[in-house]
Amino acid sequence: MKQAGVVYQTGFDFNQVSSYSMYERNSVFVEFQSINDVTRNGIEIAIEKSMEKQGFSYSELDQADVIVSYHLISQTRADISQYNKNVLYCTYCLRASNWHSEQKNWNLAAGNLIIDLIDPKTKRSVWRSVYPLDIDIEDNSRKVNSKIKSAISAMLALYPTTEIPTL
């Protein structure tokens, strides 16, 4: 099993998050990324199931505690640059701020999936995970969906929480 990388802002209170939302498909935010509808559906359904399994509820965009965003890296580096601008993610800023990371310098290769949790107030990414999907051209839709579900489950399992000790 592959490992998901994660980095997050330690100043953000992840324990106060109970709801999430995602950007609309027709929004300016996601229109530059060309993902076919089947793959996009698989990613969004896997996100919804993983978030629900962890106790988060879906909410309208303007009511959500975080916004979940995703990006499937294509063959060009320009797409990741545009995505990073959209989520206000800055690799260089990580070294100078209060971020926790197991891995700050990922190999952002084509086929890797990125998930960001965005603070709706600042519109800035406060949590990011990266996972290599390794989707092959010969993979059928069942195999692709299985890879997507496994990846997203592994990624969102790294959501930072502070356990409250029981007495």
% of the chain beyond a pLDDT of 90: 43
Q: What is the largest CA-CA distance in the chain?
A: 53
Is 60 exceeded by the pLDDT of residue 9?
yes
**pTM for the predicted model, two decimal places:** 0.86
Per-position b or e across 95-129, b if 16+ CB within 10 A of its CB = eeeebeeeeeebebeeebbbbbbbbbeeebbbbbb
CATH number of 5-156: 3.30.160.670
**Choice between 156 and 11, residue whose per-residue pLDDT is larger:** 156
Helical spans, DSSP H, in 36-138: 37-53, 78-86, 91-94
